Structure formats: structure tokens, C-alpha cells
């Protein structure tokens, strides 16, 4: 079998494997489109557009991981809503860039810890693109302090954004997924949610109890919600990034000394880049992960593997 034949075979197998789930009909024209494929159409390698026809909301998308996820999802064919809270310039710039590359994008301001803002975010997104298929609930902050110095405001801010914000966005996403007509779905599921968690959903973190408590909460939110809505055809998963080079943890990588200390915690030997997380998110959101729900995908270079034990403990 030539490599080209092999590729056609994989494509045909993927098309045939697209059996109707108990929750949805196959997309209009999907089968005939598959059978219309010709081998030579696949001779030119193309980047896979696994999220063609989808609409995705990415919260906190004006920087770091969210920005990378939004731009990768657009490259994978999804229309993207770039949510930002207080910095319109990078969000509008990203939206312009996506549109100038032929994608669909809207930048929408909303504070994810504010109930009315979250409803407005989903309303405006639905007005713009007609539906919502994927939520990447990514917004997050840190307010670090030892327990004796941590103010109630430090605690509440982190819980409000990192945990309550996840609840508000997930609730709104489930409401929208359930109210959209089944025949118009671009994927096998009725909708997919990806909560941006952290390795600190399982690794305790002294000096950051607000953050670790919120991410521990995200772990159980993900699992409990996945269990609750699986019968509605909705998939809910989390990503646990390790140390990713973004503004949130600049102190941990911006000097060579800090980076060297950080790398001792990462068996794979490099800091993560936002694209590492974006690539995982695309897979988790796509039909390739259709049987995956209620889990956390660690994207951490092994940080959660008790690195202190790698030299025999």
C-alpha cells in the first residue's frame, strides 16, 4: 500500500467511523461528501482543519494560553470568540489577524466572575455566529501570599475568577448546547467543554492556597459535570498545564536563575509553550476525542510525576 493509498484508507475509515451517536444525526451531506473524496485531492499535504464549522468561545484569550488556543482553533477551522476582560487591544488585534487569514472571529468583553457578563458573552457570541459548540474556559489569575498574609480579597478574587467563573461559563455553555437543534451540530457530541485547570489540581502549593483550592475545585467540577451531562451528549474535560511560558508565571522563567530552578521540577527538561496546550486542546475538542469525558489531560512535561523521585527518591 503506498503512503497515498494509506492516507485515503485512513480518510475513508474516518468517514465510515463517523457513526451517528445516540445524541445526534450525522451532519447534513457528511456521507456523500466523504464518498466524493478522490485520492488525488489528498496528494497535497494540508494542515488538518479538525474544527471546521465549529464555534468556540475562549475566555481570557487576550494573552498567554488563551491567545494561543484561540489562534490555533481558528487555524483548525473554528469560528472563535476571543473573550477579554480589560485589555481590548490584544484581543482586537488577534481578531483582526484571524479575519485577515480568512477565519471568523469576534472579540467580546466580559468578566467571567460576573453572571450578567457571562450571559451577555454567550448571547453576543450566538448573535454573531448562530451557535456555540465548544467552550475553552481558560481565564485565571493568581494572588499569591502565605496564609497569614493572604487577605480575604486575595482569596475571593481567585475563587471568583478561577472557580466560580468556570461554573458560570460551564452552566451557560450547557444551556446553549442543549437548546441548539441536533441536526445542525458539526461534531458527534452535543458540545464540548475544556476547563483550563493546572497541575495544582493535584499538587499542593504552599503560598498559593487560593489558587490550588480553586484548581482542586475545577478538578471536581469537571468530573461531576461530565457525569451529569454525559447522557445529554456533552463532553467535559480539563487540561492541567504545568509550567507554561506566559505572563501569569513570568517570575518563574524570566531570569536564567529562576528558569534553572523551574527546570528541576520538569523531567522533560524544558518549559512549556502556549502552543503545547493549544495542540492538546484541539484534540480534546475534536471528534478524535469523542469517547473522552470527565478526565484531565496533563500537559506538563512530567511535572506531576513526583520529579524528586527520579533519582531513586
Query: So which residues are the catalytic ones?
Result: 211
Choices 54-62, 98-106, 222-230, 257-265 (CB under 6 A): range interacting with ligand NAD? 54-62
Among 8, 56, 71, 138, binds ligand NAD (CB under 6 A): 138
Residue number, 141 or 305, with CB nearest to ligand NAD: 141
Q: Residues in contact with ligand NAD, total (CB under 6 A)?
A: 26
Task: State the nearest-atom distance from the C-beta of 31 to ligand NAD, in Å.
Answer: 39
Report the alpha-carbon angle 17-56-54, nearest 5. Answer: 40
Choices 32-40, 106-114, 167-175, 261-269 (CB under 6 A): range interacting with ligand NAD? 106-114
Residue written as cell 489528498?
Answer: 42
* Measured distance CA(298)–CA(142) in Å, rounded: 20
C-alpha distances in Å from residue 29, one per residue of 32, 33, 130: 5, 6, 20
x/- letters, 77..96, toward ligand NAD (CB under 6 A): -------xx-----------
Task: State the nearest-atom distance from the C-beta of 272 to ligand NAD, in Å.
Answer: 7
Choices 45-53, 60-68, 176-184, 227-235 (CB under 6 A): range interacting with ligand NAD? 60-68
Among 111, 172, 201, 276, binds ligand NAD (CB under 6 A): 111
Sort 260 into a burial class: Cβ within 10 Å, 0-12 / 13-18 / 19+: exposed
In 10 A of CB 165, how many CB atoms? 27
Among 98, 244, 280, 304, binds ligand NAD (CB under 6 A): 244
Question: Side by side, which strands form the sheet with 79-84?
Answer: 105-109, 79-84, 55-58, 134-137, 191-196, 234-241, 296-299
Q: Is 204 in the site for ligand NAD (CB under 6 A)?
A: no
Among 58, 64, 81, 281, binds ligand NAD (CB under 6 A): 64
Q: Is 278 in the site for ligand NAD (CB under 6 A)?
A: no
Evaluate whether 58 touches 138 at the Cβ level (below 8 Å). Answer: yes
Whose CA is closest to 310, among 272, 244, 263, 271? 263
Whose CA is closest to 38, among 71, 7, 84? 7
Task: Scan residues 165-194 and list those touching ligand NAD (CB under 6 A).
Answer: none
> For residue 281, what is its C-alpha cell?
486542546
* CA end-to-end distance (rounded Å), the chain: 49
Choices 19-27, 32-40, 136-144, 278-286 (CB under 6 A): range interacting with ligand NAD? 136-144
Q: Is 301 in the site for ligand NAD (CB under 6 A)?
A: no
* Measured distance CA(64)–CA(278) in Å, rounded: 10
Q: Is 60 in the site for ligand NAD (CB under 6 A)?
A: yes
Task: State the nearest-atom distance from the C-beta of 66 to ligand NAD, in Å.
Answer: 5
Evaluate whether 230 touches 190 at the Cβ level (below 8 Å). Answer: no
Residues at the interface with ligand NAD (CB under 6 A): 59-60, 62-66, 84-85, 111-113, 138-141, 161, 196, 198, 241, 243-244, 246-249
Amino acid at each position: 500500500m503506498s503512503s497515498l493509498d494509506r492516507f485515503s484508507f485512513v480518510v475513508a475509515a474516518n468517514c465510515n467511523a463517523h457513526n451517528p451517536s445516540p445524541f445526534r444525526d450525522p451532519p447534513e451531506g457528511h456521507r456523500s461528501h466523504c464518498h466524493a473524496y478522490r485520492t488525488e485531492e489528498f496528494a497535497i499535504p494540508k494542515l488538518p482543519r479538525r474544527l471546521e464549522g465549529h464555534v468556540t468561545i475562549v475566555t481570557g484569550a487576550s494573552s498567554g494560553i488563551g491567545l494561543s488556543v484561540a489562534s490555533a482553533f481558528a487555524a483548525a477551522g473554528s469560528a472563535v470568540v476571543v473573550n477579554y476582560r480589560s485589555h481590548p487591544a490584544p484581543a482586537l488585534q488577534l481578531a483582526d489577524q484571524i479575519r485577515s487569514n480568512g477565519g471568523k472571529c469576534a472579540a467580546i468583553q466580559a468578566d467571567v466572575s460576573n453572571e450578567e457578563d457571562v450571559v451577555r458573552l454567550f448571547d453576543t457570541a450566538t448573535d454573531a455566529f448562530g451557535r456555540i459548540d465548544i467552550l475553552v474556559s481558560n481565564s485565571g489569575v493568581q494572588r499569591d501570599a502565605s496564609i497569614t498574609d493572604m487577605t480575604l480579597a486575595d482569596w475571593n478574587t481567585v475563587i471568583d475568577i478561577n472557580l466560580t467563573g468556570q461554573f458560570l461559563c460551564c452552566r451557560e455553555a450547557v444551556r446553549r448546547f442543549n437548546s441548539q437543534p441536533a441536526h445542525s451540530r458539526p461534531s458527534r457530541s452535543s458540545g464540548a467543554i475544556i476547563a483550563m485547570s493546572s497541575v495544582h489540581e493535584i499538587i499542593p502549593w504552599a503560598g498559593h492556597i487560593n489558587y490550588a483550592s480553586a484548581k482542586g475545585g475545577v478538578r471536581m467540577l469537571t468530573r461531576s459535570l461530565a457525569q451529569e451531562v454525559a447522557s445529554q451528549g456533552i463532553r467535559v474535560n480539563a487540561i492541567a498545564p504545568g509550567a507554561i511560558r506566559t505572563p501569569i508565571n513570568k517570575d518563574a522563567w524570566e531570569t536564567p536563575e529562576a528558569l534553572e530552578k523551574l527546570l528541576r521540577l520538569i523531567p522533560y527538561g524544558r518549559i512549556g509553550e502556549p502552543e503545547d496546550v493549544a495542540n492538546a486542546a484541539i484534540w480534546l475538542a475534536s471528534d478524535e476525542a469523542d469517547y473522552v469525558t470527565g478526565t484531565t489531560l496533563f500537559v506538563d512535561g512530567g511535572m506531576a510525576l513526583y520529579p524528586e523521585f527520579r533519582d531513586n527518591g
